[in-house]
Structure 1
Amino acid sequence: MPARTVRPRCSRRPGWRVSSSSVSDPAKTVRADGRALDQLRPVRITRGWLDHAEGSCLVEFGRTRVLVAASVTEGVPRWRRDSGLGWVTSEYEMLPRATNTRSDRESRRGRIGGRTHEISRLIGRSLRGIIDYRALGENTIVIDCDVLQADGGTRTASITGAYVALHDAVEWLRARDALVGEPLTGSVSAISVGVVDGVPMTDLAYAEDSRANVDMNIVCTGAGDFVEVQGTGEGAAFGRDVLGRLLDLGQAGCAQLAELQARALADPDGRAEL
């Protein structure tokens, strides 16, 4: 039986708390990969990655790569029939060798893992925050996010790519006069932020995330409004001042991603990168 991979966590004193006084001077801190504290990894979006899906893209955040497909089905779930409302849902999964050691497919285990279920629901909630169901009509769009390679930030990369695939699926419906109105009320993207070694930073790679004092995922609309904030003190509490700094980093990161999404959707070749 293969050895289980255990994520290392930095040791902390009991009752340790992250506050502005414990945060290092950002100007004196250099990340291992040379990035600035508020700098995203190289991000690339490539649309139309799949031939058969109504919308698809490959989204890359550094070495994290996620393939996203949006599939359109006429009609809605039974509990939604005759309501005049559409539906958007999502599924998330990692390939067995997306990480440094192979994991069994969840289909072999006979059940979906808690983490997978949680992330699937997060992606769906994020997309439903910018959808007008009535304008979508009684159509269902299923978003499949498959992690090809994981190096931190797979859920935020999935959300960012999912919007692009969703947009193209909506355009597919529009071309067939299958919409009642304009279903998309805006765009949505997501980024990870955290405090590592006492320093707030944006877009954590696995090496940073695995030893973060505070770990947070932020989902924002293109207008800068929050759709969801998931934050955890990894063995340490954190103050409101630190929370504010992380929210600022998250909003700024999502603003860059919203601009990247717009460029990818406008590009004739369906490509854009930061």
Structure 2
Amino acid sequence: MARKYDRKNDELRHYKINRFFQQHPAGSAMIEMGKTKVICAATVEEKVPNFLRGTGEGWLTAEYSLLPSATHTRTSREAARGKQTGRTQEIQRLIGRSLRSVLDMKALGERTIIIDCDVIQADGGTRTASITGAFIALVEACDTFFEPDSGKPFPVRDFLAAISVGVSTEGELLLDLDYDEDSSGVVDMNVVRTGEGNFVEIQGTGEGRPFTRDEMKKLIALAEKGIDELISYEKDILGNELVWKVGREG
């Protein structure tokens, strides 16, 4: 199977993250994975939900949306329909769970971080791109209130990235699926993992046929290869002023 742009089966699409993409949020980034583009923003509020008041712990929640013009066929705004789709709810819960997995809620304090992921162009992998881009925005946001001399740990405990993998109709294992590969493939899997190598989420579906245990192991290994590359890139773009803070214990 020949992939677009002569991409190898174990090769990521061209990727790029632009930091400080927006002026107003505490942290923001625009991530590109091939033709998929997502704006990720992190807003800090000095309050928490009622169930966390007085606990000294913070919270993180996420929202996800697809711009009407992001796909080949215009998609009506969910606000106009007055209801979120099940897909939207699933994705924003995944983003929130993933980011909370590397967040120290005590170190965050009684603050809420709201993550907004807005897809401006979709060509597969929007949920995984959202997680990777939102991680950068999260680190930036936490840096706005972190006090290095306080003796408290930095709220972000580890790096985080996500990627998709799958099996084509020809039985080939592919890394970082675009829309055509995702829609025609027989197996689709999304993997979220930390820098330390711990898995946050593995979502695998045999859409065309069941997949074997051996295929699952190989797909996860392929995803890890892509995640390692993305985390290395995250460290490069965060630079020396922020990389050392991630995982800092005091």
Instruction: Give the TM-score normalised by structure 2.
Output: 0.93
Does the 8 Å CA contact 2:68/2:77 hold for their aligned counterparts? yes
Does the 8 Å CA contact 1:151/1:205 hold for their aligned counterparts? yes
Q: Does 1:189 align with 2:165?
A: no
Alignment of 1:65-104 (within 5 A): 65-104=37-76
Cα offset, 1:178, TM superposition: 9.3
Q: Does 1:235 align with 2:214?
A: no
AA partner of residue 115 (structure 2):
I
- Counterpart-to-counterpart distance in 2, 1:174 and 1:65: 29
- Counterpart-to-counterpart distance in 2, 1:213 and 1:136: 42
CA RMSD of aligned residues (A): 1.6
CA pair 247-176 structure 1, distance change in 2 beyond 3 A: closer
- Counterpart-to-counterpart distance in 1, 2:68 and 2:121: 10
Q: Does 1:117 align with 2:89?
A: yes
Cα offset, 1:232, TM superposition: 0.2
The match for 2:29 among 30, 39, 57 is 57
AA partner of residue 200 (structure 2):
V
- Counterpart-to-counterpart distance in 2, 1:247 and 1:164: 23
- Counterpart-to-counterpart distance in 2, 1:238 and 1:87: 37
- Counterpart-to-counterpart distance in 1, 2:149 and 2:229: 32
Cα offset, 1:180, TM superposition: 4.6
AA partner of residue 78 (structure 2):
E
Does the 8 Å CA contact 1:85/1:137 hold for their aligned counterparts? yes
The match for 1:133 among 90, 105, 113 is 105
Give the number of the structure with larger relative contact order, counting CA–CA contacts within 8 Å between residues 6 or more apart: 1
Does the 8 Å CA contact 1:68/1:146 hold for their aligned counterparts? yes
Q: Which residue of 2 aligns with 1:216?
A: 189
Q: Does 1:202 align with 2:202?
A: no
Does the 8 Å CA contact 1:72/1:169 hold for their aligned counterparts? yes
Cα offset, 1:188, TM superposition: 0.6
Q: Which residue of 1 aligns with 2:232?
A: 259
- Counterpart-to-counterpart distance in 2, 1:32 and 1:93: 27
Spell out structure 1 runs of 4+ moving beyond 6 A. 176-179
Q: Which residue of 2 aligns with 1:15?
A: none
- Counterpart-to-counterpart distance in 1, 2:101 and 2:142: 15
- Counterpart-to-counterpart distance in 1, 2:52 and 2:233: 34
Cα offset, 1:177, TM superposition: 8.6
2:157 aligns to what SS in structure 1? coil
1:256 aligns to what SS in structure 2? helix
Does the 8 Å CA contact 1:44/1:60 hold for their aligned counterparts? yes
Instruction: Give the TM-score normalised by structure 1.
Output: 0.85
Cα offset, 1:175, TM superposition: 5.4
Cα offset, 1:32, TM superposition: 3.3
- Counterpart-to-counterpart distance in 1, 2:48 and 2:60: 9
CA pair 59-79 structure 1, distance change in 2 beyond 3 A: same
- Counterpart-to-counterpart distance in 2, 1:190 and 1:179: 31
- Counterpart-to-counterpart distance in 2, 1:240 and 1:223: 24
Sequence identity percentage: 50
Q: Deviations over 1:20-72 (max 9, x none)?
A: xxxxxxxxx43233111110000000000000010000000010000000000
How many pairs were matched up?
240
After superposing the two structures, state which structure 1 stretch, 186-195 or 172-181, moved more.
172-181
Does the 8 Å CA contact 2:185/2:208 hold for their aligned counterparts? no
Q: Which residue of 2 aligns with 1:40?
A: 12
